[in-house]
Amino acid sequence: MNKAAEPFDVKANVSAEEWQVRVDLAAAYRLVDHHRWTDMISTHISMRVPGEPHHFLINPFGLLFGEITASSLLKVDEDGNILLPSPYPFNSAGFVIHGAIHEARPEVNCVLHLHTADGTAVSAQEDGLLPLSQVALACLPKLSYHEYEGVALNMDERKRLVADLGNKDMMILRNHGTLACGTTVAEAWVNIYALERSCSIQVRAMTGKLRHAPKDAIETVARQMEQTNQNSVAGGKPIAGSEQKEMTYAERVWPAMLRLLDGIDPGYKN
């Protein structure tokens, strides 16, 4: 009788740097699940493999976000070919959007795309995201829009999508959903959290008469975002004379998010 094949040991066959981003990316999937932002097995979060600029990590097609682990993530090339053994297929449609951004923006390592009810609701509103909350004002300078062209299967759409994104790190895809990117998983997470929270606040506010933030305040927040970078907001600088490292907001938030997940289920690290 033939011996059953041993499961492929991903951790033993990738670099330490790749394993670390696998853990972070799996954490992002679990956080999306924790916030109930999933769409069954649809949508994606992708991450560029350290030292391999044309290789990416993305979710296997068929797993719920709450089931994803560091080992289960697929490693694919820019054409969607799976590079390491896996029992799961790859939903190539997801890489129409993600692959386009990774190719056009080499500084972007993580792309996070969602179809939440509130994000999609705002994407269907004529005026898009409104200046109704402090978090929305922080998002507006970093936000772009892309018109709906149908299910993202047309490779020709990629050039229009990246042109619309430009140098922004957040996007509302009209009649579709939300998207955020960053140099790290942590940055992409902070960006999508801010965008989704802004959309949720707007949907709730629509039940009454809306009050937009004053124009001067909108301009002030835009300047503050430009001066500090949103990822540094609330991060602050180290105390004078101390050896504390200056950290971005994303760098401060991410360890807290990992502690949250560890208290719920640390299995994402496997």
Q: What is the pLDDT of residue 163?
A: 97
Looking at 35-177, list the stretches that DSSP marks H as alpha helix, in order from N- to C-terminal side: 94-104, 117-123, 134-139, 157-165
| Residues 201-238 as b or e (16 or more Cβ within 10 Å = b) | bbeeeeeeeeeebeeeeeeebeeebeeeebbbbebeee
Q: How is residue 200 written in tokens?
A: 């949720």
> pLDDT value at position 264?
96
CB 21 within 8 A of CB 33: no
Which pLDDT value is given to residue 1? 43
CA distances from 174 to 23, 144, 145, 190, 261 (A): 31, 10, 7, 21, 32
Query: pTM here?
Result: 0.91
SS3 of 195, please?
helix
Distance CA 124, CA 121 (A): 5
Ranges of residues in the chain with a pLDDT under 70 are 1-6, 228-245
CB 266 within 8 A of CB 27: no
> What pLDDT was estimated at residue 231?
46
The domains located in the chain, with CATH, are 13-234+245-269 (3.40.225.10)
| pLDDT computed for residue 155 by the predictor | 82
